[in-house]
A and B are shown apart, each in its own frame.
Chain A
Amino acid sequence: MIDHARFLRDFPMLSGKSMQGRPLVWLDNASTTFKPRSVMEAVDRYYTEFTSNSHRGDYDLCYKMDSLVQESREAIARFINADPTEVVFTSGATASLNLVAFGYGLTHVKAGDEILLTQAEHASNVLPWFKVSEMTGAKVGYIPLDEEGRLTAENLEKAITPRTKIIAVAHVTNVLGYIAPVKELARIAHRHGAILVIDGAQSVPHMRTDVKDLDCDFLAFSGHKMCGPTGIGVLYGKYDLLRETEPFMTGGGMNAKFDMCGDVNYLQPPLRFEAGTQNLEGILGMKAAIDYIESVGIDDIREYEQGLKRYAVAELEKTGMAEIYNAHSEAGIVAFNVKGVFAQDAATFLNSRGIACRSGNHCAKILIDYLGQVATVRASFYFYTTREDIDCLVDAVRHGKEFLDAYF
């Protein structure tokens, strides 16, 4: 249930914070999110109650830590309807996508094969594939977006060829906020013998994600975009595919045994991919974040954010000062410009009014070609965002022509 009084109590960043002498209005949730106390307490408990290394000791404290890591893995698995053995801890969605690219992509594509992306992808779902392309000779292609900037099943059907081996796309795009039809994309990919990699950084925090129903092959997401700590994230992979994935980091905690001759036995997934001491505080914090989101209700979150999006678009349009680029997208993200004001200058002006919005090309640098805009301002919401927050934004946009006032 969306209960703002509760959020005010639970999130220290939501009360009494100011920026430029104004109350802080946080509209950069696609970048990162605030954390409830329960997450901070979970992180803290690692240091005050459970400090020990996982898988490294024969004593009770270590056993306890192992159980907590497993509990977190199970909670994440339940949250996305996966098996715990399919949940790999990483440092975030970027690391997860790199693990797929270098652990799976590198050994499963060759010269002449094709990797399909879209122009709306975040850099983290583009650059690793460029690298794979460079190293293997496989080609990177783009599935055309429709005139609104949406990825459709129809366009994938047109773009896919017998040479397509990997399709890597965002479930929700980070600038425009469209929801991709993942289930249909997976069906098409599999029919053509390709696998589907999903960047879930902007979707998993905001909507129900059922990997079995979606039938995607890999899914990457970050903890910090869903009220969890920074530096922790997840790679989900179908177990059979994880078994075919090479660990691109090796070291302690991921091998069963090795000898002087270089014969190594790696552990089975997911531990195979978790070399070195893991981000244990982050793993505990991630569990607390999922508990919190579940206590609010992921379906309520989705519905509430959709309402906020419609409200923001309607109110911004009323000002006559905003050019909106994604009025019809489903997620709680509005990409816009203040008419006649360069995006960066608009964002600085918003800063002068205490409003945190992202400006620029949002790490989706190839989207520029599509939008015909060098930069946009992005306001992005989460379940604790209020209509009053949006009203502050709208009021600022109404005064957009005074953008240089930020300096005087």
Chain B
Amino acid sequence: MPISDMSPEMMREIILDHYSNPLHKGRPEDESLYEKTHADSTNCIDDFDLFLRIEGDKVTDALWDGVACAISTASTDILCDRLIGMGRAEALRLIEQFILMIEEKPFDEELLEEALAFRNTGKQAARIHCATMGWTAAEKVLEDKE
């Protein structure tokens, strides 16, 4: 959906939805099948683990678990949602575009879908890290696996 079509109400709805009922929050039953990475922050209480299952070139499962504010909860949950089923290159491109959006630089709107709800995070500078920490953690895992 082009960003111009997403109203503040929709953005709020998306964030609240993933915050109140995260779809991918939890730990995998067998952690040994997953790449585990930790994300935390000095200026927010966010402190969580991200689990990516990568089979061949594909992300076949993504989960996260820990303590996080609304912004990092929703953004990490949406990240997991989007990553599942993606190839590594595609996933890295998605993350790259998300970061560009948060940094208020030109980005590919089509690719981001629900993640467009974070378009305005830059308005609350202290929360930029919250919105991106899950994404940069995933980026590192995906790059390291290359």
Contacts and interface: CB of A to CB of B under 8 A. Distances in A.
A407 to B, nearest CB: 5
A38 interface: no
B71 A408 contact: no
Interface in A308-362: 342-345, 348, 351-352, 359-361
Chain B interface residue bracket vs A:
20 to 34
A165 to B, nearest CB: 33
Nearest to B127: A348
Contacts of A344: 44-46, 69-70, 127, 130
A20 B44 CA distance: 19
A353 to B, nearest CB: 12
B145 to A, nearest CB: 31
A408 B16 CA distance: 13
Contacts of A61: none
A403 B120 contact: no
B15 interface: yes
Nearest to B117: A407
B45 A408 contact: no
A171 to B, nearest CB: 26
A342 B71 CA distance: 10
Given A403-B70, A404-B12, A343 B124 contact: no
Contact of A348 (B12, B46, B118, B126): B126
A406 B70 CA distance: 12
Listed from nearest, the 4 A-B pairs whose CB atoms lie closest are: A408-B8, A344-B69, A345-B70, A375-B45
Interface of B: 8, 11-12, 15-16, 43-46, 67, 69-71, 118, 120-121, 123-124, 126-127, 130
18 contacts: A343-B69, A344-B45, A344-B46, A344-B69, A344-B70, A344-B130, A345-B70, A345-B71, A348-B126, A351-B124, A351-B126, A360-B43, A375-B45, A405-B12, A407-B71, A407-B120, A407-B124, A408-B12
Given A345-B69, A348-B127, A374-B67, 17 more contacts: A342-B69, A344-B45, A344-B46, A345-B70, A348-B69, A348-B71, A352-B124, A359-B45, A360-B43, A360-B45, A374-B45, A404-B15, A404-B70, A406-B124, A407-B11, A407-B12, A407-B118
